[in-house]
Amino acid sequence: MTVAFAGTAPLAAGVLERLAATRPIAYLLTRPDAPRGRGRRPGAPPAKLAAERLGIAVHQPERPDLPEPVDRVVVCAYGLYIPPRLLEQSLWLNVHPSLLPRWRGAAPVERAILAGDAETGVTIHETVAELDAGPIAAQEAFAICDLDAGGVYERSADVAARQLAEVLDDPVFRPQPEAGATYAEKIAPADRELDLSDPVDAWRRVRALSPHIGAWTTMHGRRVTVWRARLEDGAFVPEIVQPEGRRQMTYDEFLRGVR
């Protein structure tokens, strides 16, 4: 059984590291290096950095291709459309961090937290032409509680690795229902703005966009990104903030600076 991996984002890096601990990975398909940060210097995708640490060959085509035939391709947060001709060459198994058919699409973790879902999970399904609609090989739920997106992604990587160990060699599929399907649209600029008159929504928004995107508001006349917050007696309480152009700091430090 030969296995390749296609992934780009931090979740993909986490799943790749866990999967590589249990079986050989022939190579990684990932997106080309792209400008990152304020300096806009080319930076490697997280999955590439993980593969290099593990000694796995890396391929970064502009369009997906298989440099050599494999029996399975595990796909996780890859970000590129996989054409039908490639789906016919191997069995592609997608790792999707939601309880499909709920939250198909680009931002399932963020949308689940924003919606106040009590639970989410991981679904392993066959990759098909339609977005996140393939038959399901494995699915496992877990409670969101007060996790932020980073915590959900970390838990998802653990669950996905365990699921893949069980189904990768000989998956048995069941149809994915269309009833209950929802779509997780990409996070837009408007999704990042906090409405402090709605403490529960603000708390969810901070958690949904931390630690990778960030939700912002205006405090004491300054634009501030809130990276961590809590609800206390129904009130929204910032904990870790970052004034525009400054480093992250506690909210108390920020207030001292204002004074």
Pair (245, 141) in one structural domain: no
| pLDDT of 40 over the 80 cut | no
Name the pTM for this structure.
0.94
Residue 161's H or E segment, with its range, is: helix 149-167
Pair (224, 154) in one structural domain: no
Pair (27, 100) in one structural domain: yes
Look at residues 140, 167, 183 and tell me which one is the last residue of a structural domain: 183
Look at residues 154, 183, 212 and tell me which one is the last residue of a structural domain: 183
Pair (10, 105) in one structural domain: yes
pLDDT value for 155:
98
Pair (198, 178) in one structural domain: no
Number of domains in the chain: 2
Look at residues 140, 158, 183 and tell me which one is the last residue of a structural domain: 183
Pair (135, 149) in one structural domain: yes
In percent, the amount of the chain with pLDDT more than 90 equals 95
Q: What is the pLDDT of residues 226-248, one digit of tens each?
A: 999 999 999 999 999 999 989 99
How far is residue 36 from each of residues 43, 52, 83, measured CA to CA in Å? 6, 19, 27
- In angstroms, the CA 173 to CA 62 distance is 31
- In angstroms, the CA 148 to CA 119 distance is 13
Tally Cβ neighbours within 10 Å of residue 212: 14
Pair (97, 139) in one structural domain: yes
Domain span at 27: 3-183
CATH number of the domain at 203, please: 3.10.25.10
Q: What is the pLDDT of residues 147-201, one digit of tens each?
A: 999 999 999 999 999 999 999 999 999 999 999 999 999 999 999 999 999 999 9
pLDDT value for 36:
74
